[in-house]
Structure 1
């Protein structure tokens, strides 16, 4: 898809990958509604982008997993810029490590990392089918193709996000609706480096696993790959190409891969524990 002249919504757009995608979109002559739970921060990001590209970005606060909020965002984008052609389901959370997630925390991570995608697609796909065009971009993670050491909630929901994106592509790909799934490893965002830091042993393990698995990319590097994939209408976006080799090794011998991951986890634990 050529994004020039198109209208997009980007969730988690106050910073990180979401803000970087928004900047790349407006540089390519798209119009963007950036949304985030932090309304003040996303408004400041919109103001900064509009200073360089006047009139290209609007902003809104709200919960990306709430159906009513998603409907409001779509209405705002359409009244401000026109019909929404692209939706970036980019908002995500990590969650507590191991089996320490309460039922309420499981509900939250499933809502944000998976059901937010489902609810956005439910709101957008009927109109996209009528127009014969639409583009859904799911921010999953390499954890959705491999796994995430330490974090059950993150790993499980990112696997589910990949599965939903696959289903979207299969179900609607012949109807003019394209789907891409972004699966990076380490990216220099607040999700990797939360303000409070990782104080517990398993939290440190999770952070160490990401930082030692490969290069930590900037959000701008990832956004460049996202826009290139949209231009090519390519499903899998791998800013870390080595993920594909890891994925092939996993599928070729699952038990060997699991054994290797256990050894890797032990080495990380030994390093964390000194």
Structure 2
């Protein structure tokens, strides 16, 4: 993919990974960088810094996502790359209330379904496009202390896989971003938690990894290289991996 002169949408662009992606695409010469977020002021700040276009979107709403795509496609330009980056973290386990489960499911999973539903047919009609889904290393491994997060990120990875299997040979590029901890509002105060066991990356580093993966039409984006080894250990001996995760849980609960 050539980022120069392209139209790129980034959700969750007010801060963190989303802001890092928007900055990177602007630096690469994208014609239009659409900075979308439920935080309208934050989206506007990011857009002002890079000469982008701010839009308000609530990714928990299919109507809001559909309106964003429709507005960009009809009033700005056809979307070459959609970065479905917005997401939330919900901590806890069995005690998490049903409404909290539903909210994180809508934001971390259904937002990707709704994006694809309203964008992929357009991309197919014009011969191509690319979707970048921000999931998490938790979607390949899991997340100690955060059942809703681990479960929804697994589902996000699964849906991205399905998109790639179904449309990847029809001109639709699909990449899924699976980092460990990245400096953002989500990880504020978690610098010494289990989420940061392999270090806290800067959003700029993650954006660079995404660009390299998209340029090479690579599905899996792993800014923390150790995640690949963890995946291989998991599939090589699932029971041993679970025992290891239990030990990691104990280590941080004791701390």
User: TM-score band, normalised by the shorter chain?
Assistant: over 0.9
Q: Residues 11-47 of structure 1, C-alpha deviation per residue, up to 9 Å, x if partnerless?
A: 0000110011011111111121111111111111111
Matched, 1:123 2:118: yes
Indicate the residue corresponding to 2:215 in structure 1: 231
Q: Residues 192-233 of structure 1, C-alpha deviation per residue, up to 9 Å, x if partnerless?
A: 11xxx57xxxxx9xx61112x202100000001101111111
Indicate the residue corresponding to 1:14 in structure 2: 14
Q: Check conservation: 2:132, 2:177, Cα contact below 8 A.
A: yes
Query: How many correspondences in the alignment?
Result: 254
Indicate the residue corresponding to 1:218 in structure 2: 202
Indicate the residue corresponding to 1:209 in structure 2: 194
Indicate the residue corresponding to 2:26 in structure 1: 26
In structure 2, what is the Cα distance between the partners aligned to 1:58 and 1:72? 15
Please list every run of 5 or more consecutive structure 2 residues that lacks an aligned counterpart in the other structure.
Answer: none
Considering only aligned residues, what root-mean-square deviation do their CA atoms show, in Å? 1.3
Matches within 5 A, 1:69-88: 69-88=64-83
In structure 1, what is the Cα distance between the partners aligned to 2:111 and 2:152? 11
In structure 1, what is the Cα distance between the partners aligned to 2:150 and 2:249? 15
In structure 1, what is the Cα distance between the partners aligned to 2:95 and 2:182? 25
Q: Residues 37-91 of structure 1, C-alpha deviation per residue, up to 9 Å, x if partnerless?
A: 11111111111212xxxxxx11111201312211221233234431111111100
Matched, 1:100 2:95: yes
Secondary structure at 1:8 match in 2: strand
Matches within 5 A, 1:160-175: 160-175=155-170
Q: Check conservation: 1:149, 1:209, Cα contact below 8 A.
A: yes
Q: Check conservation: 2:128, 2:172, Cα contact below 8 A.
A: yes
Q: Check conservation: 1:42, 1:60, Cα contact below 8 A.
A: yes
Offset, 1:186: 1.1
Indicate the residue corresponding to 2:140 in structure 1: 145
Indicate the residue corresponding to 1:179 in structure 2: 174
Q: Check conservation: 1:14, 1:36, Cα contact below 8 A.
A: yes
Which 4+ residue blocks in structure 1 deviate beyond 4 angstroms?
A: none
